[in-house]
Amino acid sequence: MRKLLCTSLVLLLILSGVTAAFAAEANKDTTAAASTEAAAPKTTGAAVTTDSDSETTGAAVTIIPDMTFTGDPIKLSLDAAYKKMEADSPQAEVADLNRQIDLGISKGYSEKVSLINKSKEAGGDYSTTDKNILSIQKEYAATQAAKNFEAEMNQLKSDTMKNYYTLKELENQVQIAKDNLALKEKLLSNTQLKFKLGTVAKSDLLQAEISVNEAKDQLLAAQNGLSTMKMGFNQFMGYGLMQNVTLTDAIKEVAMPKKSLSDTIKDALKSRNEIHEAEYQVKVSTLNLNNYNAYPRSSSKYIDAKMSLLLAETNKKNAPLTVESDVRTKYMAVNEKYSAVQTGKKSVENAKESERLAQLQYDAGMATLSDVEGAQLAYYNAQLSYSKTLLEYNLAVYDYELAGTVGTKSAKI
């Protein structure tokens, strides 16, 4: 037994010595590393420089260490956002490049027409149909280039508006969540007082505490959603990801469109790119079929040309119906959302009054905690619903107004 104890003691001493040696070595390495770091310059070519607010890499990329949006605050109205996107956004640059491409295609058709004319003067054999097709293509491409550019800019403006007001709506959601938390905290305070006076059970107090914690969770979720949208908005606008941007325009109920449904349909049938493209395809397909009139009706080339014309004629027939259906659908959406906004207003007013009355009844001992919480929940949901509906209504009005222009889709050239 004594021999066993002695052996154990020796092993313990050996292990202790190893541990102490390892600790001393580790401490030595740490001290050396610290000395090296202290002696090294604060910034190196590819190193990350850290201060109390941010980290900057060698490539001059500032990394914000938390979710704080920084930089000189940028105040941005919706109109200013439009102008910025039209002036220097990648989307506007792409739209302009596409316009130049369309004009280049038109120029290409023009050059081919010139070559045909020169070839015919030199005795070359080119059909009049080929020349006519190229002439139509040249004219269409030159005219449609501007319309396609307008459609792309319409889409960019629509996207800017949606991003802007979606961010504002999420700001509204955060404020609603804050107000809801304040109501829950006030209810908890009243319940604590009642519990001390012995007028409510402890279960009510515990439930009130749970409700406060749930309201805090809702607020955090709303704030996280807002932060995510802020980053997306900054990226869309071409700002730094964590740039501090303040949107100055509030979401207000816009007026109902002044243009009647029938007038909007008429304008859409004259202006929409879908209509122009369908008419163009019929013209080209008709001339193309003329090139194969001398071919046997059973030949593959004649059949392909004939089928292309039939398909183009079908598309031309359906295009006005499709455009009219689109306008009517957007018109109905405007009216539906407008009605929802009016209902939402009244719902918020009624829910707010119901919450106030429930609180008074609870204070007077005439209502339960569940009654108050139910009223608060109804008020909270009514505010969220109204905020979302107001956003949808404003966007629906803009979509309807765009439906009577060239639209938001480019035509194929």
pLDDT digits (tens, 9 = 90+) for 17-69: 434 443 444 444 444 433 434 333 333 333 344 444 556 554 556 788 889 99
Contacts of 177 by beta carbon, 8 Å cutoff, 6+ apart: 215, 218, 219, 221, 222, 223
| Mean pLDDT, range 277-286, rounded to an integer | 96
Taken in order of first residue, the domains within the chain and their CATH numbers are: 70-403 (1.20.1600.10)
Amino acid 227: pLDDT: 97
Amino acid 60: pLDDT: 57
CB 400 within 8 A of CB 264: yes
- Distance between CA atoms of 219 and 213, rounded to whole angstroms? 10
Count the neighbouring beta carbons within 10 Å of the beta carbon of residue 379.
24
Q: What are phi and psi of 92, to 5 degrees?
A: -70, -35
Lowest mean pLDDT among 105-109, 253-257, 312-316, 402-406: 105-109
Q: DSSP 3-state assignment of 96? A: helix
Among 56-70, 131-145, 223-237, top mean pLDDT goes to: 223-237
Amino acid 54: pLDDT: 56
pTM for the whole thing? 0.79
